[in-house]
Amino acid sequence: MNPQRKSPNPKTRRNRQIVGILLLAAILLFFGLVVFRFFYITVSGQIDGVNLADRTRRKYTQETVLKAKRGTIYASNGDVIAEDSNVYTIFAVVDRKYVSIDDKPLYVQDKAKTAQVLSQYLSLSAAQIKKILSPKSKKAFQVEFGNAGKNIDLATKNQIDKQKLTGIYFRAQPARLYPNGTFASHIIGIAQLKDAKDTAKDSNAQLTGVMGIEKYFNRQLTGVNGRQQIQTDANGYELPMSKIVTKKAKDGDNMTLTIDARLQNNLETLMQNVQDKYKPVGLNAVLMNAKTGSILAASQRPTFDAATMQGLGNVWRDTLVEDAYEPGSVMKVISMAATVDSGHYNPNATYQSGAVTLDGSTVRDWNYSGWGTIPFSQVMPRSSNVGMVHLEELMGAATWKKYLERFHMGQKTGITLPGEVSGMYQFSRAIDQANTAFGQGINVTAMQMMQAFSAIANGGKMVQPQIVSKIKNPLTGKTTTYQPKVVGRPISAATAANVLDQMRQVVNNKQIGTGTAYQLPGVDLAVKTGTAQIANPKGGGYLTGDSNYIFSVVGMAPASDPQYILYITMQQPQKMTAPAETILSSIFKPLMTRVLSYGQTSSGATTKQVTMPNVTNHSTAEAKEALANAGLTPVLVGSGTEVVQQLPKANSRVLAGQRAVLLTDGAALMPSVTGWSKNDILKLAQITGIQVNFTGTGYAVAQSIPANSVITTNSRVSVTLQPR
């Protein structure tokens, strides 16, 4: 009899049901997740954060970067100063497996021949190159040649290419070409790739300005790369009828500077001659258009060759704007202007020269024994520190500080160069205030001084130094032009004329002038020399020794109506085999002669010089005859018959043919100034005390006070000027 079949245990059946349910749930969950995943991918178009459409587009799209060109920098005459170029790094493939499709070798085969040829172009011997071409590692694919194989120019690359050396290749990278070498190098600056290692990975890296104009205007000079996209198949071949998408590159703006290439090259040669012969620790020179503030030439030593970068490690600073120093006696041009303008200058009053004590400190003249009791009219030509101290005391500290602020001392000029410092001055004690008047205890930059000097040369009108003339967008043609910028009127036109006349004495008065070494035959010059002590970097006063000074000179020409200002400073010549004046004049005289020879002065006057006769206290008839004999044009101001005052002053050297203004006794009468230069009218203002307002530039064509009208020191006259 068959045993009866037993039914499953209820507990076992329940477990099986649970397992089944769980298994079904897992299956449903799995398929649910799969469906959700597909749904998510379909809706979002992403997987693991990767945009599938973008990835597909990139997979089947070939994109090429269209490189933008960095803007070109030009000199004022159109010469290229800096432009884009390419340099190349040479490398050699040594892996014997590197062959073409038809099995032609693409690696270096004849190492001896290759080494011999490359040694003619690289700064390596054939033996050194052959060693490089034979690396110890058998797995090496390619080798490079260190610094000798970098920064190869296009001409050298082409020469090597002509040799048809198998396995020799070049990698291009953007570079900046400076065709003039040493040429206002710290002002122009340099543009470099940020990181050579990054550049090796990214061939589209752009140049960045790291100094000078290149740095200050980096945003304007740097272009924006474009791109071009084409559709390809899986093998990278362009699809027929595919759309090419192009976004053009935007080249950087081009810039034109105020620098004149001829004058700059001349200055560089003159500066280098002094550097080589006398070995100064520092040497600066700036030539500026007095009317517009345009920097025509500027340089410094130490410097570097921007084409090769040789010398760059000596000094990175643009010392014309980044170094503040005590200017010394050239500062007397500013302090004398303040004294005259504030009404505290009496040229005939006298003082005891030699030494003066303030706050327990003694200020001495450079001639320790002094010159006895002398008039204040000799402060400038003799460069008397003591006289300047007395004049500062006559002004008072508050007045002197007001003029320091008017001349923007302790303030940046705002010139478009990076790293400009503001300088500073000490003014807490009486001795500090006096020291600033003769250029000690005050720190300035060369550009600050140029700005201040412009007020003297420009009839009281102070203009900002400028290095950029215009910026032009090569795509739109939009041009930004930098116009002359008047930044203040610290003194009157009459004061400026007075100071210029005193500066004439510095260079022309052979008995007392400290600047006779700067005389130029036939040129009307205004000059001031300076010798500044250098603070001891270790503290405790100033350095001692014959060469431990900053020697300087500022000149303005023609002094009758200055068009140019030239300022030179030289710090601590290590081989001082000649007087400082002789050294500086070897730069000053040829450069000033050259710029004047361009014939760009507004007056167009002859450069022949004559001596102004002394006609004061002479009859008007005698005065007119004497001036005619001297080749000068007399202008009588007054109804009298005797000359009581004259400009220019007696015995000064002046340009032949210029006007000499003679004030007579009796009522002062307004002359007709039609055809007069601005400088001639300023002489009239100085000798009569009238106030003159100018409109326009050039020569007088109209005046508000009619000729022969009576004028007084309170009279105001407006004069309209127009170019001839």
Structure letter (DSSP) for residue 294: B
CA 625 to chain centre: 50
Give alpha helix (H) positions in 292-384.
319-322, 332-341, 379-382
**CA–CA gap between residue 686 and residue 78 (Å, rounded):** 42
Rounded (10°) angle between helices 493-508 and 446-457: 110
Contact between 569 and 555 under an 8 Å Cβ cutoff? The reply is no
Q: Give the DSSP per-residue string, 578-617.
A: S-HHHHHHHHHHHHHHHHHHT---SS-----EEEPP--TT
What 3 state SS string does 129-188 have? HHHHCCCCCCCCCEEECHHHHCCECHHHHHHHHHCCCCCEEEEEEEEEECCCCCCCHHHH
Contact between 705 and 680 under an 8 Å Cβ cutoff? The reply is no
What is the 3-state composition of the chain as percent helix, strand, coil, each rounded to the nearest 5? 35, 25, 40
**CA–CA gap between residue 124 and residue 115 (Å, rounded):** 9
Structure letter (DSSP) for residue 69: P
Tell me the catalytic residues.
Answer: 329
In 3D space, the residue among 381, 396, 464 whose CA is nearest the CA of residue 430 turns out to be: 396
**CA–CA gap between residue 8 and residue 624 (Å, rounded):** 149
Q: Nearest 5 degrees, angle CA 218-CA 221-CA 225?
A: 105
**CA–CA gap between residue 21 and residue 250 (Å, rounded):** 68
Which residue is listed with tokens 């001896």? Answer: 112
3-state secondary structure of 435: helix
Cβ neighbours of 520 (radius 10 Å)? 19
CA 657 to chain centre: 37
Residue 662 parent element (H or E): strand 659-664
φ, ψ at 279 (rounded to 5°): 50, 55
Q: In the structure encoding, which two tokens stand for residue 565, read together? A: 């200002």
Cβ neighbours of 483 (radius 10 Å)? 9
Sign of torsion over alpha carbons 592, 593, 596, 598: negative
**CA–CA gap between residue 38 and residue 30 (Å, rounded):** 12
CA 27 to chain centre: 78
**CA–CA gap between residue 543 and residue 2 (Å, rounded):** 130
643-647 and 609-611 strand pairing: unpaired
**CA–CA gap between residue 485 and residue 480 (Å, rounded):** 14
